[in-house]
Amino acid sequence: ADLLQIMAFESGTDPAKFNTVKDVIKVPVTDPATGKTKIVEKTVRKQFATGLIQFVPDTAKGLERGLTVQKLAKMTGYQQLDYVEKYFKKKLKGKTVKDLGDIYLLVLYPKAVNLPDSYIIGQTRSGRDQNLKPELQKLYPGRTFSRHFAILNKVFGKANIPGGVVTRKDVTDFIMKKWNKGKPKFKDPYKNEYK
């Protein structure tokens, strides 16, 4: 039931649901007047977090050789549950989870499981922690991971406040109090696939 709650929040239990992220690609452009071709950078949107628990590309790669978010999106929910299980087995090693909030942290930000409630995951100013991965640094120069997290996760409230922070407690409170609907009243979306 807790896992269904998380999947409902992340994807509406739609295995093909995905979010996009900006990317910069290089494309050849020919000047009609001179006939000369030059390479220019173009910003495009590309598929990013995908599936039942919104796997990101690096996570998909880490679960199985050759697995991509595009391949995950083509699977049925029942097929994708095998990868959800693999993900949780990998992330649960050495961690103790006590409730829906902790289980959700395993999906959103596993590093915060078993840390104090005051642990800061994101903040809207520059931030105090690691840099973004190189491909995101190119798109968002000067942005740290914590600032990026706060900007992308405004649903957790304090990320909307200039200089605001998003703590572990903000995330778990949101899931436990605002999002948690108790045991799901909706039917298992994959019931017919079990046969």
Mean pLDDT in runs of 10 for the chain (195 residues)? 88 90 80 89 82 92 95 94 95 88 92 90 68 72 77 71 79 84 57 59
Predicted confidence at residue 183, as pLDDT, reads: 54
Nearest to 150 by CA among 173, 133, 132, 175: 132
Question: Number of C-alpha atoms within 13 angstroms, CB side, residue 67?
Answer: 22
Predicted confidence at residue 147, as pLDDT, reads: 78
Q: What's the predicted TM-score (pTM) here?
A: 0.74
Predicted confidence at residue 59, as pLDDT, reads: 92
Which residues in the chain belong to E strands, given as ranges?
Answer: 18-30, 37-50, 120-123, 165-167
Predicted confidence at residue 122, as pLDDT, reads: 83
